[in-house]
Structure 1
Amino acid sequence: MTQNILLVEDDIEIARIIKDTLTKEGYFVTWSTTGLEGWEDFKSRHYDLALIDLMLPEMDGFTLCKNIRFKSDMPIIIISARKEDVDKVEGFTQGADDYLAKPFSLVELKARVASQLRRWQRYKGEALAQNEVSYEYGLTINYDNQRATLNGSALALTRTEWDLLTLLSGHAERAFSKEELYEHVWQQAATQNDLHTVTVHIKGLREKLADPVKTPRFIQTVWGKGYRFIGEAL
């Protein structure tokens, strides 16, 4: 089966060389010229790997990496002329798996891509057996079937509540601001009124989880920040 690669690069010459090289290797490459276009392309189909430049118009590479990582565990390789350690550290912090500094050889590019794809295939094989997670206090989340139960009873979650629960539980112990939650669940920039919308949906989710605010078992309020998932997996 052909593996799909998302290439986000605004330098036309570099992008064409990379796309031609990877296409000859048998990959299907989608080329985006801006960070925002890359984000839209990512949401439109399945990808096995992303190659992302840092200096992009509309949405920078760091933000794009962060957005993708919230939605997918696929490999992300940053390709950038910025060689400072601080940029590499920031890239890895935002979810990148590898960092390839320009100029790089096409031989090295092909090797890095192949290596990350092999690891991704192994990871997916392991993840198939872990698509259902049970937590203390009776919560079970089946990510494939999009179904959550509490003490054996199915939870009647709305689509928004399900998206909030899986985003938070999929990044356990990470504190999400209301702005981040709105951006990734509603997929648009948040206004002040939208932050109240997040509060209302979190309240509804907590009620269905029977999760008290003062003594939470699943969703904890992080004062001055937002919310995080604290459920203990069994």
Structure 2
Amino acid sequence: MNKPLVLVVEDDAPVRNLITTTLRAHDYRFLSASSGDGAILETSSHNPEIVLLDLGLPDMDGVEVIKKIRTWSNLPIIVISARSEDTDKIDALDAGADDYLTKPFSVEELLARLRVTQRRLAVMQGETLASNAMFTNGNLSIDYAAGCAYLNKEELHLTPIEYKLLVLLAKNVGKVLTHRFITQRVWGSSWDNDVASLRVFMATLRKKLEKDTNAPQYIQTHIGVGYRMMKVE
């Protein structure tokens, strides 16, 4: 398994050196940053595959860094922080972090978390390769490779958000997806305004997809819970 490129975001030089030395000793490629702005710049410029992120940065809180990265990327983010309260962990995870490691930590535990994340990346990449095909449900079809959707063989003119919503539902046919699950996947967060936005985008998507929005064929609303794509014979 090829080792991923890791971005280390840590303003404490001794801790940063410990992490980067560990990564080097185990053949990981890595970048480093000591501030929130630096983390965002390195992430957008070099596309690391995993981020190791401290929360106590000099220019902004690490949770804000997570939120900003989540506006354009779903790359794995492992928080490494001295904050050990449950509320701190929940805030980071709700913002979009994938894992949380509390300082002080052992090198062995850090490497174990990285291995778990690597396996998760491998699964995600396998799913991406497997998704390069056509999805068909009734008269609806999605060409994942081309990024296009069709209804009755006519292309649907969807916004990027509408397309992401449609693909998420299509990949979970028959399953009720909660508002929180959908907003986390589409926007990277689950604030109340994201749920409000979800309802707006879902309404516009339905207008393009359903002949009669009062008797939907494809997308079913579960009031107060979420949405489900129904299997159409």
Deviation at 1:113, TM superposition (A): 1.1
Residue ranges of structure 1 left out of the alignment (5+ in a row) = 185-198, 223-227
How far apart are residue 4 of structure 1 and its match? 0.8
**Paired residue secondary structure (2:101):** strand
Instruction: Report deviation, 1:22.
Output: 0.7
Partners in 1 of 2:219 and 2:157 — Cα distance? 17
Structure 2 unaligned blocks of 5 or more:
170-176, 189-199
Contact kept in structure 2, 1:211 and 1:219, CA below 8 Å: no
Aligned match of 2:164 in 163, 166, 176?
166
Query: Following the alignment from structure 2 to structure 1, what is the Cα–Cα distance between the partners of residues 204 and 120?
Result: 39
SS at match of 1:145: coil
Separation in structure 2 between the aligned mates of residue 78 and residue 87 of structure 1, nearest angstrom: 11
Relative distance call for 1:67 and 1:149 in structure 2 (3 A) is: farther
* Residues 3, 48 of structure 1: 8 Å contact kept: yes
Q: Deviations over 1:59-111 (max 9, x none)?
A: 43223334444544433211000001121222222332321111112232122
Q: Given that residues 81 and 101 in structure 2 are in contact (C-alpha distance below 8 angstroms), is that contact kept between their aligned partners in structure 1?
A: yes
Partner residue, 1:188:
none
Identity rate, percent: 35
Letter in 2 for 1:166: K
Rounded to whole Å, the distance in 2 between the matches of 1:233 and 1:6 is: 42
1:108-162 CA distance string (max 9 Å, x none): 21222122212321332234223557476744444442222223322345xxx22
Check conservation: 1:10, 1:34, Cα contact below 8 A.
yes
Aligned residue number for residue 78 of structure 2:
77
2:100 match: secondary structure: strand
TM-score by length of 2: 0.66
Aligned residues of 1:135 and 1:232 also touching (Cα < 8 A): no
Distance in 2 separating the partners of 1:41 and 1:168: 31
Which residue of 1 is the match for residue 102 of structure 2?
A: 101
Q: Secondary structure at the match of 1:78?
A: strand
4+ runs of 1 displaced by more than 6 Å?
Answer: 201-206, 211-216
Distance 1:109 1:148, change over 3 A: same
Instruction: Kindly report the root-mean-square deviation, in angstroms, between the aligned alpha carbons of the 2 structures.
Output: 4.2
TM-score, normalisation: structure 1: 0.66
Distance (Å, rounded) in 1 between the aligned partners of 2:58 and 2:162: 29
Q: How many residues align?
A: 213
Equivalent residue, structure 1, for 2:23: 22
Of 112-121 and 131-140, more deviation after overlay is shown by 131-140
**Contact 2:141/2:149 (<8 A) preserved:** yes
Counterpart residue number, 2:113: 112
